[in-house]
Amino acid sequence: MESLTTAQQELYDWLVDYIRANQHSPSIRQMMRAMNLRSPAPIQSRLEHLKNKGYIEWSEGKARTIRVRDDLRGVPILGTIAAGFVNEAFTDSVERLDLNGLPIQNGDYALKVTGDSMVEAMIQDGDVVIMRPVKDPQGIREGTIVAARVESGTTLKSFYRQGDQVQLKPANPDYPVMEFPAESVDVQGRLVAVWRGIDPDFVV
Amino acid sequence: MESLTTAQQELYDWLVDYIRANQHSPSIRQMMRAMNLRSPAPIQSRLEHLKNKGYIEWSEGKARTIRVRDDLRGVPILGTIAAGFVNEAFTDSVERLDLNGLPIQNGDYALKVTGDSMVEAMIQDGDVVIMRPVKDPQGIREGTIVAARVESGTTLKSFYRQGDQVQLKPANPDYPVMEFPAESVDVQGRLVAVWRGIDPDFVV
DNA sequence: AGTGTTACAGAACAAGTGTACCAACAGGTG
DNA sequence: CACCTGTTGGTACACTTGTTCTGTAACACT
């Protein structure tokens, strides 16, 4: 990635923060004031450079249409890290995790997990699971983790079929496998992602 | 939350998708074409309603400044769900998980986890951990999960002090605790979040 | 039928806004 | 010093765009 001058870097940082906060690009005259300039020309020049170097893009002639390149959004994935044992990490890879882009679809929803029956599936109390509504219950694959509504309530379990019965298996040997007639199980959604925010005050 | 007419809902959904994809609001005439209208008046009317009902807001007179209310961004957290046992879920709570907003700060970065030494901390192979650079190594609390650089490489472990030594504990009894002189351990960052995307083709 | 309400089409206006142009200035290079 | 290059200040212009206004059509209700 081509490097930036200090003036270009300063504008770029301010621009990214502004777009993240306001969900739209500022106008050139707004940037002018933010950079303590009294003419739009310098901003235009810097934007041109940022565009040529591949940092931003915009629709020509249209107002407030600047956007940061998609491959620069989110947080950078600096490399892989071994939880198993020390080895190489911090590569100079440019891959990025766009938390707002790819994984989430419109209609997805989240549930806060309570209880510990899914610990062996690496889901613990307090995690937030992102679920996707299931259109066709027949299409659910064996072992998929789903939010299922049965007569007594809704629960998060692995989904299995057994003849015309449906098994809901917890991922914790301390809890029992539950079995219901297929028609009495209403699958509300399937697991698409897990999010765990770490409370900085929390200590193991 | 006040409900919407079908026309308002249709515009709102299109608007949210457009902003998410383009990082800026469309113009009224763009919405006009998208809704198959030939006059800007109906769009303006619907926007006015969306504003009064608290769904969107914009800077009056400024071009392309519509933004979705912050408390509506991200995915809705519909309630809590028991992994432990069936109980109530799907409350009508309005809380939301804003994946792009609150948790991530500028400067944060991500690492893909390989290996299984942190399985008891509910971090498994393939997870993405979001790390925050550590300014003051003295301020790290006991038990915090950190990415630490030692002479042999970088690893993800729980951080403990033992006199003037630093212990790096894996969360898996199969792996040994490692101990280093405090000055030879360079803490690259501390864990602030875990993200796990579920591959739909993956079956347990 | 009459009436009020709402939505739409079309046009027009004013402000916001991107862009082009030119002069002044600073910094480096011969 | 002269010269070139890049940045800034300043201005001007044309297009974009939010906003307002008027008239018409569709619809619900009395």
B46 touches strand C (CB under 7 A): yes
Instruction: Kindly determine whether residue B122 and residue A196, on different chains, have CB atoms separated by under 8 Å.
Output: yes
Q: Which of A27-41, A183-197, B50-64 has the lowest mean pLDDT?
A: A183-197
- Please provide the average confidence, as pLDDT, over all residues in chain B: 82
In the structure, how many helices (H) and strands (E) does chain B have? 3, 11
Non-local CB neighbours of A132 within 8 Å, separated by 6+ positions = A105, A107, A108, A189, A190, A192
Using a pLDDT cut of 90, give the percent of chain A over it: 36
What is the least distance, in Å, from the CA of B12 to any CA of chain A? 12
- pLDDT of B71 > 80? The answer is no
Contact B16, B31 (CB under 8 A): no
What is the least distance, in Å, from the CA of B43 to any CA of chain A? 19
CA distance A143 to A166: 11
Q: Per-residue confidence at B85, pLDDT binned at 50, 70, 90? A: very low
- In this prediction, residue B87 carries a pLDDT of 46
Q: Which of A167-176, B69-78, B98-107, B161-170 has the lowest mean pLDDT?
A: B98-107
CA distance B162 to B180: 10
CA distance A140 to A159: 8
- In this prediction, residue B172 carries a pLDDT of 83
Q: Per-residue confidence at A10, pLDDT binned at 50, 70, 90? A: very high
CA distance A26 to A49: 17
Parallel, antiparallel or unpaired: strands A109-114 and B75-82:
parallel
Distance, C-alpha B37 to centroid of its chain: 37
Q: How many CB atoms lie within 10 A of CB B158?
A: 22
| Token pair for B3 | 């409900």
Nucleotide nearest to B37 (CA to C1'): C8
Contact B21, A110 (CB under 8 A): no
Contact A164, A182 (CB under 8 A): yes
Non-local CB neighbours of B173 within 8 Å, separated by 6+ positions = B120
Annotation says B157 is catalytic: yes
Which residue stretches of A27-115 are H helix? 28-34, 40-52
- In this prediction, residue B61 carries a pLDDT of 94
Closest CA to B78 of B89, B67, B65, B62: B89
Q: What is the pLDDT of residues B37-55, one digit of tens each?
A: 999 999 999 999 999 999 9
Q: What is the pLDDT of residues A14-53, one digit of tens each?
A: 999 899 889 999 999 999 999 999 999 999 999 999 999 9
Helix (H, G, I), strand (E, B) or coil at B50: helix
Q: Per-residue confidence at B114, pLDDT binned at 50, 70, 90? A: confident
Distance, C-alpha B101 to centroid of its chain: 7
| Token pair for A70 | 């998609």
Residue B141 burial by CB count (10 A; 0-12/13-18/19+): exposed, middle or buried?
A: middle
CA distance B77 to A34: 37
- In this prediction, residue A174 carries a pLDDT of 84
Mean pLDDT across the stretch A165-172?
A: 88
What is the least distance, in Å, from the CA of B47 to any CA of chain A? 17
Instruction: Kindly determine whether residue B143 and residue A20, on different chains, have CB atoms separated by under 8 Å.
Output: no
Q: What is the pLDDT of residues B140-158, one digit of tens each?
A: 888 899 988 887 778 888 9
Non-local CB neighbours of A105 within 8 Å, separated by 6+ positions = A132
- Please provide the average confidence, as pLDDT, over all residues in chain A: 82
Nucleotide nearest to A62 (CA to C1'): D16
Length of chain B counted residue by residue: 204
Annotation says A152 is catalytic: no
Helix (H, G, I), strand (E, B) or coil at A198: coil
Parallel, antiparallel or unpaired: strands B153-162 and B145-150:
antiparallel
| Token pair for B40 | 């800007």
Non-local CB neighbours of A182 within 8 Å, separated by 6+ positions = A161, A164, A165, A166
Using a pLDDT cut of 90, give the percent of chain B over it: 34
Q: What is the pLDDT of residues A71-116, one digit of tens each?
A: 777 666 666 666 544 444 454 445 566 665 545 666 778 888 888 8
CA distance A48 to A52: 6
Parallel, antiparallel or unpaired: strands B96-97 and B75-82:
antiparallel
Mean pLDDT across the stretch B81-96?
A: 52
Domains of chain A: 6-68 (1.10.10.10), 75-101 (no CATH), 109-195 (2.10.109.10)
Task: Please identify which residue in the block is written with the tokens 């020390």.
Answer: A86
Q: From the candidates B85, B118, B178, which should be mutated to test the interface with A, based on the most A CB atoms within 10 A? A: B85
- In this prediction, residue B70 carries a pLDDT of 76
- pLDDT of B191 > 70? The answer is yes
A120-135 burial: b if 16+ Cβ within 10 Å, else e: ebbbbbebbbbbbebe
- pLDDT of B8 > 50? The answer is yes
Q: Per-residue confidence at B97, pLDDT binned at 50, 70, 90? A: low
- In this prediction, residue B166 carries a pLDDT of 92
The H or E element spanning position A10 is helix A6-22
Q: What is the pLDDT of residues B119-143, one digit of tens each?
A: 778 888 888 888 888 888 888 888 8
B6 touches strand C (CB under 7 A): no
Task: Please identify which residue in the block is written with the tokens 């993800």.
Answer: B156
- In this prediction, residue B53 carries a pLDDT of 92
Q: How many CB atoms lie within 10 A of CB B182?
A: 13
Helix (H, G, I), strand (E, B) or coil at A30: helix
Q: Per-residue confidence at A203, pLDDT binned at 50, 70, 90? A: very low
- In this prediction, residue A57 carries a pLDDT of 95
